[in-house]
A = this chain, B = another copy of it.
Amino acid sequence: MSSTKTAAICIIGDEILSGKTQDTNTNWLAKQLFDLGVDLKRVEVIPDDEADIIETVVRMSRTYNYVFTSGGIGPTHDDITYASIAKAFGCTLEDRAAAEREPATIVAPSHTDPGSMVAMRMTSARLRMAQLPYPSTAHFTPGLWVPLCVVNGNVHILPGIPRLFQAMLAHYLPDLANRDGLGTEPFYRRAINTNRGEGDIADALTAIQDQYAADGIKIGSYPTFGAFKQGGYRVCVTVVGRNVPLVDQVTQAIAEAIDGRVEPLQTPKH
């Protein structure tokens, strides 16, 4: 088995901390990383504050294989991610995007027809968005003029807008997977539902977890409350691992021990 790659996500945004916005980028990326077999170890939500950004990305870059930041790369005064990350790693800020792309390709979704792209007037604020940390690697997504910028070899700077966040990563992750050999041993999850309570199944689960812990099998137990009100089950037990036959074997053992129902695999997986 190849050594497991680890990842962390840094969500940069006052709007998440003030409750204005529900973060959904974490859940979307967590699913992608799970399918690639990358172990997402930590997520931190921090304010649009230079000191917070610097402390967090430096620590994460040192600790995990991949770091993904979300938010703060727009053209307004509260968008300080590029400058803060540049400072964190001793980079300068340079007009790299503008230099690497023809002016004609500097476009944005049309206001009247969001499905199409229109040329944008280059204001001083928009030029600020084109100022990327240097040295860095810029990965362009078709149809978007702001690149996914990678600093210090593993810090991936992404926008907070979910549609752009997802578009950039959907384009980039397959290349990353190919480069680093990810996805050859993805995580695999099975679920067993039961109407018995957590307190009643806990001892059986503990025994099975103890038996298989050394094989990299992780058993989780999640009461659903509310959910079984609508005809669902009371507790959902999950089995996660990379060894498919072993996950299936543990799943069967749990189903028998707790009188549970093994859920069919879902397509698409999520």
Copies of the chain in the assembly: 2
List residues of chain B with CB within 8 A of the CB of A26. Answer: 16, 23, 45
Q: Whole-angstrom distance between the alpha carbons of A195 and B46 in the complex?
A: 28
Is residue A74 within 8 Å, beta carbon to beta carbon, of the partner chain?
A: yes
A191-219 CB contacts (< 8 Å) to partner B: 195, 197-203, 205-206, 209-210, 218-219
A179 interface residue (CB < 8 Å to B): no
- Give the contacts of A215-237 with B (CB-CB under 8 A): 218-226, 228-229, 234
A164 part of interface (Cβ distance < 8 Å)? yes
**A: contact size bracket:** 35 or more
Tell whether A175 is near chain B: CB-to-CB under 8 Å.
Answer: no
- Min Cβ gap A255→B in Å is 16
Q: Please encode chain A, from 37 to 78, with 1 for each CB lying within 8 Å of some chain B CB and 0 for all others.
A: 000111111111000100000000000000000000011111
Q: Pick the interface stretch among A89-97, A106-114, A133-141.
A: A106-114
Given contacts A111-B195, A114-B229, 12 further A-B contacts (CB under 8 A): A16-B30, A19-B29, A19-B31, A41-B47, A43-B44, A74-B223, A78-B218, A114-B226, A123-B202, A125-B203, A126-B199, A161-B224
